[in-house]
A and B are shown apart, each in its own frame.
Chain A
Amino acid sequence: MDSSDPAPSGEPDDRPTVPGQRSDQGAYLRVTDLRVRFDTEDGVVRAVDGVSFAVERGRTLGIVGESGSGKSVTSLAILGLHDAKRTTITGEISVGGRQVVGLGDEEVRRLRGRDMAMIFQDPLSALHPYYTVGRQIAEAYRVHHPEVSRREARQRAVDMLDRVGIPQPVRRFDQYPHEFSGGMRQRAMIAMALVNDPALLIADEPTTALDVTVQAQILDLLADLQAEFHSAIILITHDLGVVGQVADEVLVMYGGRAVERGSVEQVLRSPQHPYTWGLLSSVPSLHGDADADLLPIRGNPPSLINLPSGCAFHPRCRYAERPGGRARTEVPELRPAGAAGEAGTNGHLVACHLTAEERTTLYAEDIASVGVAR
């Protein structure tokens, strides 16, 4: 996603193009108009409602949102880990040029673990308590490399444990998950995810359960491993600080839709969507005025069964009245963030009814009222 072409007029491929979307030719993962629905007793949950993005190898996309924003469901759909009986997926997910939507279980399983892997928030639920850590890593390798011997698989697992910074990997191989500390378990899970050298790694809140000093170690480790293995990484998190530290691009999700997308500098330095402003101003900072009140987003995240009409954020938006009734009736499209005809937004997209001029003025006021210089 590094070539920037704000107005692709005639893209060669026939996928639905979002105006202003950058050319994603080199992307390893390309998600186009993804929609995920669950049928539940209470009604249909539209967990993901038309989301598009792409990630190249060697780049990191941060997906940000609160609980229920659809960020985790997006990753489960990519990996084919959803409950097929209750879930309807439409749109396109292309992993290394292969369509994943509609593939059979067996085919997805072959991709999963080899071409794409996942790191979860809670390593205890991803590691089986009954088997040694090393055995689980070796098995993950043997599944996709049936030709290797047990001894070779064991050596590969020991090497991976060593690579992710676990001291005494030979001894640790034979230990059980409960004998590992939280940070060590997270490292072991990363070793298991990377044992087949996947081109795509999805990390869902990988450091949320960890202490900050351990979080810093794990984020450093992921960056080092990415440089070495050249993987595409999707980092799902609610923590904008983590995103600012490791992501190249950022996708902000709300109510199952993308509300803003752009480079990390664009989204964190000149955010365009009032929801992004709210996220930034409600996070306490280590800098700025400690006595100033935080500026929370009013209300609560929406129910995905009964999403507010029009812009899903309008009941919580302080500027919802400005575009007139449109905020309530019309779902805003994801469009280039700059003023009409203005060049230089370089693929910064926002789904908001406010005009570019209004957003510039309002954001300046918004920052001033928090008293935080960003």
Chain B
Amino acid sequence: MSDQPLLRVRGLTKHFPVRQGLRATGLVQAVDGLDFDVRPGETLGLVGESGCGKTTTGRMLVRLLEPTAGSIEFAGRDITHAGRRELRPLRQDLQIIFQDPYASLNPRHTVGRIVAMPLQVNGIKPPGGIKARVQELLELVGLNPEHYNRYPHEFSGGQRQRIGIARALALRPKLIVADEPVSALDVSIQAQVVNLLRDLQRDLGLAFVFIAHDLAVVRHFCQRVAVMYLGRIVEIGDRADIYERPQHPYTRALLSAIPDVTRLGPGGRIRLTGDVPTPLDPPSGCRFRTRCWKAQDICATQEPALVPRDGGNQATACHFPEAVGASPEAEGAPGGDAAGAIVEEVSP
């Protein structure tokens, strides 16, 4: 794995204007200043609740949406404002898998035609012919290559998602943005598709930006995880850091809210009050402060920067992060080391 990032995102921002008639009456701050890297072959999970901006981020990465500000570099090239023609060669390396396996496949096209489309659009003629390549792809994702001539409605939800994956793989991409690829599927089918994506990732050395609200699924797929809240990354780190040593109160609350089959009964949960505030008018300072049990005056006035706490890979945007090494179960455990005390790190 090279240290040169495949994808480099800096200050990525998307604001949607809200109009009433012809007048702009406000701005939805969907995504506000994201920084992250994805190295070749790496899987980064983007998690958060609805409205946190994860889907908007994914769509900007593949340039289905135009960023308002910030930059996206892919393989060393700035693609933030690249036009159609400049994007065309990049499309081969950068693909997306959508959430809804019903809406993302054209019902009038055969599976063969759907999977062959990226090859034809890009004028690629595989050595053995397009049909052979398509059948190879269908086999790769666990579909019967004989079903080349069938239509999407003849397949189940899980099989349709496999068709979407085959289409994304057709151009041998380096990075796939997967937007909730399993959340529309039944649980037993989810596991099949998660296993498939894991095998493909390992065998083909693909990098993934895996967007999901289900933290348990992300834990089984991603090496690194970024937790988003109201358009910002509040914590980013290696999988073990995020799941075993979460430092941001929101990450802890999110993890504790997930009902887990290994634990019966209620209890042990951090109750967050209220809903996520509207991105039309996000809270000043730390955006999580209105629901945070640790919030102090400084949280309303100064926005916490996303900074590494102990020189490691884990960065947390919080004025009062959890002690390093404190387990999420030990609620309010006193921090043993200096990093656990109240740290004043304020963005300039």
Residue in A214, A217, A283 whose CB lies within 8 Å of B261: A283
Q: Establish whether residues B259 and A184, one from each chain, have CB atoms under 8 Å apart when the complex forms.
A: no
Instruction: Return chain A residues, CB-CB under 8 Å to B137.
Output: none
Tell whether, in the assembled complex, residue A296 and residue B191 are in contact, meaning their CB atoms are under 8 Å apart.
yes
Q: State which of A240, A284, A285, A300 has its C-beta within 8 Å of the C-beta of B194.
A: A284
Task: Say whether A215 faces chain B, with CB atoms less than 8 Å apart.
Answer: yes
A98–B254 Cα distance when bound, in Å, is 44
Judge whether B189 is part of the interface by a CB distance below 8 angstroms.
yes
Evaluate whether A294 and B272 lie within 8 angstroms (CB atoms) in the complex, with A212-B49, A244-B264, A300-B189 already known. no
Q: Is A309 close to B, CB under 8 A?
A: no
Cβ of B213: which chain A residues have Cβ within 8 Å of it?
Answer: 211-212
Greatest chain A CB density within 10 A among B186, B266, B271 is at: B186
The answer to whether A264 touches B264 (Cβ under 8 A) is: yes
Q: Contact at B186–A301, with CB atoms within 8 Å?
A: yes
The answer to whether the Cβ of A239 comes within 8 Å of any Cβ in the partner chain is yes
CA–CA, A287 to B217, complex, Å?
12
Judged by a CB distance under 8 angstroms, whether A103 is at the interface is: no
Residue in B189, B192, B254, B262 with the greatest tally of chain A CB atoms within 10 Å? B262
From A15-23, A274-282, A345-353, give the one contacting chain B: A274-282
**With a CB–CB cut-off of 8 A, which chain A residues contact B217?**
284
- B260 near A244: Cβ-Cβ < 8 Å: yes
Judge whether A284 and B220 touch: CB under 8 Å. Answer: yes
Pick from A66, A184, A242, A284: contact of B216, CB below 8 A. Answer: A284
Say whether B261 contacts A374, CB under 8 Å: yes
Min CB gap B334→A, angstroms: 25
* Interfacial chain A residues near B239, Cβ < 8 Å: 290
A126 to B253, CA, bound (A): 30
User: Could you mark each residue 254-294 of chain B with 1 if its beta carbon is under 8 Å from any beta carbon of chain A, else 0?
Assistant: 11011111111110010111011000000000000000000
* B324 contacts the other chain (CB 8 A): no
A47 to B345 alpha-carbon distance, docked (Å):
60
Given contacts A181-B275, A216-B271, A284-B194, contact A374 B264 (CB under 8 A): no
In contact, B216 and A285 (Cβ under 8 angstroms): yes
| A183-B213 Cα distance, complex, nearest whole Å | 16
A124 within 8 A of B: no
A212-B213, A286-B255 in contact; A280/B189 too (CB < 8 A)? no
Q: Does B102 contact A (CB under 8 A)?
A: no
- Produce 1/0 per residue, A336-374, CB < 8 A to B: 000000000000000000000000000000000000101
* Residue picked from A278, A293, A296, most chain B C-beta under 10 Å: A296
Contact A296 B192 (CB under 8 A): yes
With the chains together, A3 CA to B269 CA distance in Å? Answer: 31
> A241–B266 contact, CB under 8 A?
no
| Pair B220/A290 contact, Cβ less than 8 Å | yes
Give the docked Cα–Cα distance between A260 and B19 (Å). 54
Tell me, yes or no, whether B59 is within 8 Å of chain A by CB: no
Among A250-308, those with CB < 8 Å from B are 264-265, 268-269, 278-288, 290, 293-298, 300-301
Total chain B interface residues with beta-carbon distance under 8 A? 43
Residues of A within 8 A of B263 (CB): 244-245
Query: Could you say which of B188, B260, B272 contacts A66, with CB atoms under 8 Å apart?
Result: B188
Question: Once the chains bind, are B191 and A282 in contact (CB under 8 Å)?
Answer: yes
| Bound complex: CA A216 to CA B260 (Å) | 12
- CB neighbours of A300 from chain B (8 A): 156, 158-159, 189
B24-50 contacts to A (CB < 8 Å): 49-50
- Interchain CB contact under 8 A, B194 and A286: no
| A294 touching B191 in the complex, CB below 8 Å, given contacts A184-B275, A239-B259 | yes
A238 within 8 A of B: yes
Give the residues from 149 to 197 in chain B that come closer than 8 angstroms, CB to CB, to chain A.
156, 158-159, 186-192, 194-195
Q: Does B8 contact A (CB under 8 A)?
A: no
For A297, list chain B residues within 8 Å (CB). Answer: 188, 191
B140: interface (CB < 8 Å): no
Interfacial chain A residues near B195, Cβ < 8 Å: 293-294, 296
Is the CB of B98 closer than 8 A to any CB of chain A?
no
B243 within 8 A of A: yes
Query: For the complex, what is the distance from the CA of A37 to the CA of B191, rounded to whole Å?
Result: 31
The complex places the Cα of A315 from the Cα of B341 at a distance, in Å, of: 58
Q: How far is B258's CA from A220's CA once the two chains are assembled, in angstroms?
A: 13
Q: Which B residue sits closest to A290, measured CB to CB?
A: B219
* Complex interface: chain B residues within 8 A of A216 (CB): 257, 259, 269, 271-272
The CA-CA distance from A211 to B266 in the complex, in Å, is: 17
The distance in angstroms between the C-alpha atoms of A175 and B217, with both chains bound, is: 37
* B15 proximal to A (CB < 8 A): no
Q: Is the CB of B190 within 8 A of A374?
A: no
Instruction: Check A245–B191 contact: CB distance below 8 A.
Output: no
Min Cβ gap A242→B in Å is 5
A238 contacts B269, C-beta separation under 8 Å: no
Least Cβ–Cβ distance between B102 and chain A, in angstroms: 13
Contact between chains at A67 and B275 (CB < 8 Å): no
Residues on A with beta carbons closer than 8 Å to the beta carbon of B265: 244-245
Q: Which residue of A lies closest to B269 (CB)?
A: A216
* Cβ–Cβ contact B262 & A287, under 8 A: yes
Task: List 10 A–B pairs whose Cβ atoms lie within 8 Å, in order of A's numbering.
Answer: A211-B276, A213-B49, A238-B186, A241-B260, A244-B261, A279-B187, A285-B216, A295-B191, A297-B188, A298-B192
Residues of A at the B interface (CB closer than 8 Å) are: 66-67, 181-184, 211-217, 219-220, 223, 238-242, 244-246, 264-265, 268-269, 278-288, 290, 293-298, 300-301, 372, 374
Leading 10 A-B pairs by shortest Cβ distance: A241-B259, A296-B191, A282-B191, A211-B49, A297-B188, A294-B191, A284-B216, A216-B257, A296-B192, A66-B186
